[in-house]
């Protein structure tokens, strides 16, 4: 599948690019701070008519929290939903993505959902495999398959940089280990989680993966069921209720599609039955969402009536 440039999408990008100046690139993971904050690109994979793009849609970025949807899908397939939801909840938090506060106050003491860091760490801990390398390979192979055998790798500089500085995520892990949510070794989990977050791809690959979710887990080209329908539905539901962190309510109101953001500036969007969307815009607002990416989605949703509500 080739992707064609689109004049109208280019105009839309041009009309929102100035919003990049109102945000900042994430630098709490030092290696993430090296990108150009003015970048903005989009690819839209239409399951019926092919792919359109605007901006430098082949520029690679790390998935960061976008990966949480993909690890969740794999773990639900590995373990089944009863096992997973015994350890991770289904409710939005209204707190920042790395918050520790509700871990202590929730009864039973488990992360409120798999889209916040605590929940995602618990999910990654559940990836099945006999060794760290086997678990990593399984995750990577699954994501490659969702993207139609895409060539993806982990950006080891970003992974290493997060591994060396992730004190808060380690604190979340120690708390959850004490409460029996996390079973495995914490340093091994941090290694796997930071690699997962540092998987690199571009807007086209992300849009292609979005199309699988748009088709309830079916590959848009081969028709093969890559994710069971119910699991694709669960993932999309979390994207709606928790995918944009403590801005998920406002996003549902203004855009109204399942979406997941990451602090690299990536956004995975899904218009059910129709489109997968990949966006890269690393200048972030204070909640960790791409400032210009949000504006771009808002304009598109209004113009083409994307909202599922
Ligand atoms: O765990 C972290 O802090 C990062 N690897 C991912 C966080 C993230 O992308 C949150 N996004 N908005």
Task: Report the atom number in ligand 1 closest to the C-alpha of 245.
Answer: 12
Domains in the chain (CATH in brackets) are: 3-62+202-220+235-304 (3.40.710.10), 65-197 (1.10.1500.10)
Buried b (16+ CB within 10 A) or exposed e, 187-203: eebbbbbbbbbbbbbbb
Identify which of 162, 263, 283 to mutate to test ligand 1's pocket (most ligand atoms within 8 A of the CB). 263
Options 19, 53, 57, 245, the catalytic residue: 245
Q: What is the pLDDT of residue 116?
A: 95
| pLDDT higher than 80, residue 195 | yes
Identify which of 117, 124, 173 to mutate to test ligand 1's pocket (most ligand atoms within 8 A of the CB). 117
193 is an active site residue: yes
Identify which of 61, 65, 68 to mutate to test ligand 1's pocket (most ligand atoms within 8 A of the CB). 65
Is there a contact between 114 and 122 (Cβ–Cβ < 8 Å)? yes
Query: Does the model's ipTM exceed the 0.95 cut?
Result: yes
pLDDT digits (tens, 9 = 90+) for 163-184: 999 999 999 999 999 999 999 9
**Ligand 1 surroundings by CB, under 6 angstroms:** 64-65, 97-98, 117, 162, 169, 197, 245, 261-263, 288
Options 53, 193, 248, 260, the catalytic residue: 193
| pLDDT higher than 90, residue 215 | yes
Options 53, 66, 68, 260, the catalytic residue: 68
The candidate with the shortest Cα–Cα distance to 249, out of 140, 131, 95, 143, is 95
pLDDT digits (tens, 9 = 90+) for 236-292: 999 999 999 889 999 999 999 999 999 999 999 999 999 999 999 999 999 999 999
pLDDT digits (tens, 9 = 90+) for 103-154: 888 777 899 999 999 999 999 999 999 999 999 999 999 999 999 999 999 9
Q: What is the pLDDT of residue 204?
A: 97
pLDDT digits (tens, 9 = 90+) for 19-58: 999 999 999 999 999 999 999 999 999 999 999 999 999 9
User: What is the whole-number distance in angstroms between the Cα of residue 267 and the centre of ligand 1?
Assistant: 12
User: What is the whole-number distance in angstroms between the Cα of residue 130 and the centre of ligand 1?
Assistant: 26
Task: Report the atom number in ligand 1 closest to the C-alpha of 66.
Answer: 9
pLDDT digits (tens, 9 = 90+) for 65-113: 999 999 999 999 999 999 999 999 999 887 878 888 788 887 778 999 9
Alpha-carbon gap, residue 299 to 290, rounded angstroms: 14
Please provide the average confidence, as pLDDT, over all residues in the chain.
96
Q: What is the pLDDT of residue 17?
A: 96
Percent of the chain with pLDDT over 90: 92
Q: What is the pLDDT of residue 281?
A: 98
């Amino acid at each position: 599948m080739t992707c064609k440039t689109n004049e109208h999408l280019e105009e839309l990008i041009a009309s929102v690019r100035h919003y990049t100046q109102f945000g900042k690139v994430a630098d709490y993971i030092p290696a993430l701070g090296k990108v150009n904050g003015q970048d903005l690109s989009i690819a839209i994979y239409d399951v019926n008519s092919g792919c359109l793009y605007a901006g430098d849609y082949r520029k690679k970025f790390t998935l960061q929290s976008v990966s949480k949807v993909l690890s969740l899908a794999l773990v639900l397939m590995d373990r089944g939903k009863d096992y997973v939801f015994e350890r991770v909840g289904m409710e939005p938090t209204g707190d920042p993505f790395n918050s520790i506060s509700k871990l202590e106050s929730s009864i039973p003491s488990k992360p409120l959902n798999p889209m916040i860091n605590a929940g995602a760490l618990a999910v990654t801990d559940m990836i099945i495999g006999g060794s760290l390398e086997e678990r990593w390979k399984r995750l990577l192979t699954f994501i490659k398959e969702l993207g139609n055998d895409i060539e993806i790798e982990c950006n080891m500089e970003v992974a290493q940089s997060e591994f060396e500085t992730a004190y808060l995520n380690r604190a979340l892990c120690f708390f959850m280990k004490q409460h029996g949510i996390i079973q495995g070794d914490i340093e091994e989990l941090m290694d796997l989680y930071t690699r997962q977050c540092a998987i690199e791809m571009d807007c086209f690959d992300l849009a292609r993966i979005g199309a699988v979710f748009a088709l309830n887990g079916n590959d848009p080209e081969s028709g093969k069921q890559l994710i069971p329908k119910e699991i694709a539905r669960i993932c999309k539901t979390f994207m709606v209720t928790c995918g944009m962190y403590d801005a998920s309510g406002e996003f549902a109101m203004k855009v109204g599609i399942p979406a997941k953001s990451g602090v690299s500036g990536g956004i995975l969007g899904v218009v059910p039955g129709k489109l997968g969307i990949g966006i890269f815009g690393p200048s972030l607002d204070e909640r960790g969402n791409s400032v210009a990416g949000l504006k771009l989605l808002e304009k598109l949703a209004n113009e083409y009536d994307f909202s599922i509500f």
